[in-house]
Amino acid sequence: MRKRYLMTPGPTPVPAEVLLSMAEPIIHHRTPEFSKILAQVVEDLKYVFETRGDVLLFASSGTGVMESSVVNCFSPGDKVVVSRNGKFGDRNYHLAKTYGLDVVDLQYEWTSVIEPDDIAAELEKDPHIKGVFVTQSETSSGVLNDVKAVGKIVRGYTEAVLIVDSITGIGAVECKTDEWGLDVVMTGSQKGLMLPPGLAAVSVSEKAWGHVEKARLPRFYFDWTKAKKSIAKETTPFTPPVSLIIGLGKALALIREEGLESVIGRHAILAEAVRAGVVALGLKLFAPPEGRGNAVTPVWAPEGVDGGRIPKIMSDKYGVTIAGGQDEYKGKIFRLGHLGYFDRFDIITTLSALEMTLNELGYPIELGMGVAAAEVIFEENPF
Ligand SMILES: Cc1ncc(COP(=O)(O)O)c(C=O)c1O
């Protein structure tokens, strides 16, 4: 027997009560029973997104709502700024290019944060820029970009909307949609919302609705106007993923019960403990100190150790699934997830499996040092 532990930044573990709620016999989506659940889910999503604006749901992965932002907000040839410092920022770039937008490409190293001043400079040069894309929590690098600062800048330009990929941000780090002036914010179910993959949510501000009215890119399934009209009637334009929405209702109730601030506070402590643990083992963190998120901790594989072997041994031998590096960092880094349904002993398990793996690979560590460092953080920060 090998018990399995899912320690990746998506998909993430799903609480038993959420799983059980999704195992109930299926109900029809055009019923008062489902409408009531959907209405509550939308209200609770607004709580999590910290918005009084609209939140729309789509049966898709996160990339679906990323694409929906492009097709709903823009027309061919519109000029947009894409800031990118990782794989998911790259996705925004490719999406914008695919749809024929005129892209100002602000590209940074994966190990750096994006610079809000560069965005300000582009907007100053051309105040008719229609949109700015930022990835808040860059899952490929663990970097947390300062969307609050970008919000302050973009707010000053009436023609530009700020589009934020918070797919691994929502529920793990602060993301104050209305207060920070974030026009479009996205997340996916398999992340901080503690659900299986298959559902994505996007918030849309009044300013963004202004863009939607003028946008001429073709859209059908991902048409935000259709989704908004249906949600106003407590339904969906197309068959929704009924079980996932029921599960989401349960997951959001858990988040409300804990309180959003506490949920984010828990993530901050777990992330700090992971960082303390890996540093105590003599390993180097990938993300820079000025921008480390709470969802995932990427770590450089030690010199002389093939980074690809670390996730493999952890999974094959100990049943602990972590993520490897992506694109050019494949084999060079590994990523420890701590997003969503995570508590202290998940971190202890991950660090323990990491220590045993490093030991097996001949990397000189003293067993227990990473775990001990994490325990100190937990003792100092009870929750
Ligand atoms: C920051 C970020 N953006 C976008 C995506 C894409 O989401 P999906 O894989 O659900 O399409 C992910 C998924 O890992 C992500 O972490």
The DSSP bridge pattern shows strands 137-138 and 333-337 to be unpaired
Q: Is residue 210 part of a domain?
A: yes
Q: Is residue 11 part of a domain?
A: no
Q: Tell me how far apart the alpha carbons of residues 38 and 365 are, in angstroms, rounded to a whole number.
A: 51
Residue 200 CA, closest ligand 1 atom number: 10
The CA 192 to ligand 1 mean position distance, Å, reads 12
63 lines ligand 1 (CB under 6 A): yes
336: which 2 tokens?
Answer: 């420890």
The CA 167 to ligand 1 mean position distance, Å, reads 6
Q: How confident is the model at residue 161 (pLDDT cuts 50, 70, 90)?
A: very high
136 φ, ψ to 5°?
-70, -55
pLDDT at 30 over 90: yes
Q: Given ligand 1 and candidates 66, 88, 199, which is best to mutate, with the most ligand atoms within 8 Å of its CB?
A: 88
198 lines ligand 1 (CB under 6 A): no
Q: Tell me how far apart the alpha carbons of residues 262 and 266 are, in angstroms, rounded to a whole number.
A: 6
Q: Is residue 95 part of a domain?
A: yes
165 lines ligand 1 (CB under 6 A): yes
Q: Is residue 6 part of a domain?
A: no
Q: Name the residue range of residue 39's domain.
A: 16-257
What percent of the chain has pLDDT above 70?
100
What type of residue sits at position 195?
A: L
Evaluate whether 172 touches 267 at the Cβ level (below 8 Å): yes
Q: How confident is the model at residue 239 (pLDDT cuts 50, 70, 90)?
A: very high
Please count the structural domains in the chain.
Answer: 2
Q: How confident is the model at residue 304 (pLDDT cuts 50, 70, 90)?
A: confident
Evaluate whether 254 touches 18 at the Cβ level (below 8 Å): yes
Q: Within this chain, do residues 233 and 269 fall inside the same structural domain, yes or no?
A: no
120: which 2 tokens?
Answer: 């300000």
Q: How confident is the model at residue 19 (pLDDT cuts 50, 70, 90)?
A: very high
Q: Within this chain, do residues 178 and 120 fall inside the same structural domain, yes or no?
A: yes
Q: Within this chain, do residues 190 and 299 fall inside the same structural domain, yes or no?
A: no
Q: How confident is the model at residue 98 (pLDDT cuts 50, 70, 90)?
A: very high
379 φ, ψ to 5°?
-65, -35
